[in-house]
Amino acid sequence: MKKISFTVLLAFIALSLAAQIKISAPTLVNPENEDDNQMPNVLLDWDAVSGIGVITYEVQLDEDSSFPSPASFTTEFTSSEMENLFFGHEYNWRVRATDDNGTGDWSEVFKFTVFNEVILNKPNDGSDGLMPDALLKWKNKVGSISITGVDNFIYQVSFDDAFTDVYIESTVLAEDFVGESIIAVNCVELFFDTTYYWRVKAVHSLDESDWSEVRSFSTLSAPELVDPSDGATDQMLDAVISWEEITGAFEYKYQLCADPNFDPPCASVTVETYTATLQALMFGNTYYWRVNAMHTKDTSNWSGSRSFEVINTVLLSSPANGDTVDLFPVLEWEAQTGIEKYELQYGTSNSFDEPEIYYIDVPEASYKIIFSLEKEMEYFWRMRAIKDVDTTDWSATGNFYTPFPIGINDNLLQKENVRIYPNPSNGILKVELNPNEKSMIRISVMDLLGQKVFEEKASFEQGTQTEMIDLNFLENGLYILKLESGNKVYNEKIILDK
């Protein structure tokens, strides 16, 4: 009986002691004391404490550190999210715990400040040349903390820095940018060549932040031309002009004129793209062009002007002048666009008396001669391009040679059959050959850089014959004399010493 009484007594003493232990004051964690730039829905966080039974926490929040009229919250959790705190205000907060034994002491008091200004990102202050749909960006963070607890952002774009003449005022939903570090919005139909001022603020249902800093930017004045470059030559009849795209513009107008001052008559054409293929150009003419941009509220200034010249010839490619070709050679030239056809003439006369004439449709840029040419002959060829009744000038005249038949005069250009004298020469050089029959020889002179400085064709009758060459127009020095007959070649160094 004594043992039972003693056990009951010990239990009673233990319960009495437990009832006398007060639950500890919580330790505050976040935000830390005197933290600034907190969100209107800041999460207050503290460490858990141990106690008897169910533990609850009372949170008090007040702008006065003595808590005369606090907002109070009770929770079983170790954190509590605030709502719609005022921007730029300083708040004090504390927490105490309650368990089955009663309520403990208040924690120490921490204070924090709610952010009050949105931070602008781009464009930089004073930026110029922006598009009429300029992209405005601001940070969805304050420091390293993402902005939360706001409903909207309001931005203004004004003609003046006092914002007495606001051109755009619009609202952006904060929920559309959750998780984004930057908020970006496009303006609509800004005027060209105009300076604007802009700012942003954050809003929730009970308060608005201060406006951000004010920044300025200016829109571009006119499009920037791209191609062709100013003064470009050899442009095609269907030349393509282009300029940099202006986002926020819906149409462009280009002017094309033969007068540098754009005095009429000029072609004025509106397009929706930032490139245009020109029409009705004339060979050899010089044209001037410029562009402006438009949207429904404004038209830009004219761009700077550029000029270009339309090609007025055909550029021959192959064979190179002086080449030896077969009797059915392929003639090649640089292709042109915007034309209808080419006219080709070739023959043995460089004045093109009674030439062979052919018309080649585009896009062909070569022609194979289908009727055999004469052997051992020099031929001349030229071309021009045609569009309607307009034609280019004739190209530069090209020349080429046809070969000797294989087996004839094989020994003609062997060393024992060739005599070049006097060497050194006082400017007059003699070439002596002894062909078995009438032969056509191409005589050329190259400098030490391999550049051809002299060329002529000479006809040698059967038997010993001498051709005199006048090189007095050349400077003194070392040269290479080259003799060609079909696929046979003879080279010899010569010295001019006049």
Is 4 a residue whose pLDDT tops 70?
no
Q: How far apart (Å, rounded) are the C-alpha atoms in residues 495 and 132?
A: 72
Does 124 lie in the same domain as 213? yes
CATH code of residue 429: 2.60.40.3080
Q: Which of 283, 310, 337 is the last residue of a domain?
A: 310
Task: Annotate 196-207 with DSSP letters as a single string.
Answer: EEEEEEEEETTE
Is 11 a residue whose pLDDT tops 80?
no
Asked if residue 148 is part of any domain, the answer here is: yes
Does 215 lie in the same domain as 234? no
CB 117 within 8 A of CB 76: no
Q: Which of 83, 114, 145 is the last residue of a domain?
A: 114
Asked if residue 364 is part of any domain, the answer here is: yes
- SS3 letters across 422-477: CCCECCEEEEEECCCCCEEEEEEEECCCCCEEEEEEEEECCCCEEEEEECCCCCCE
Closest CA to 441 of 420, 454, 460: 460
Mean pLDDT of 247-254: 96
- Report the pLDDT value the prediction gives residue 410, as an integer from 0 to 100: 57
The single-letter DSSP state of residue 334 is -
Number of domains in the chain: 5
Asked if residue 295 is part of any domain, the answer here is: yes
- Report the pLDDT value the prediction gives residue 440, as an integer from 0 to 100: 78
Closest CA to 157 of 202, 217, 247, 220: 217
Residue type, 480: I
Residues β-bridged to residue 359: 343
Does 280 lie in the same domain as 205? no
Is 296 a residue whose pLDDT tops 70?
yes
Is 176 a residue whose pLDDT tops 60?
yes
CB 289 within 8 A of CB 279: no
Structural domain boundaries enclosing 335: 316-401
- Report the pLDDT value the prediction gives residue 309, as an integer from 0 to 100: 98
Is 297 a residue whose pLDDT tops 50?
yes
Side-chain-facing half-sphere of 268: CA atoms under 13 Å? 8
Asked if residue 335 is part of any domain, the answer here is: yes
pTM of the entire predicted model:
0.73
CB 382 within 8 A of CB 397: yes
Mean pLDDT across the chain? 92
- Report the pLDDT value the prediction gives residue 407, as an integer from 0 to 100: 45
Q: What are phi and psi of 406, to 5 degrees?
A: -60, 135
Q: How far apart (Å, rounded) are the C-alpha atoms in residues 170 and 136?
A: 12
Asked if residue 9 is part of any domain, the answer here is: no
Does 324 lie in the same domain as 300? no
Asked if residue 406 is part of any domain, the answer here is: no
Asked if residue 13 is part of any domain, the answer here is: no
Q: How far apart (Å, rounded) are the C-alpha atoms in residues 250 and 199?
A: 27
Longest dimension (CA), the chain: 162
CATH code of residue 295: 2.60.40.10
Does 449 lie in the same domain as 375? no
Asked if residue 454 is part of any domain, the answer here is: yes
Number of neighbouring beta carbons within 10 Å of residue 326: 11
Does 215 lie in the same domain as 124? yes
Is 307 a residue whose pLDDT tops 60?
yes
Does 387 lie in the same domain as 302? no
Q: Which of 261, 287, 310 is the last residue of a domain?
A: 310
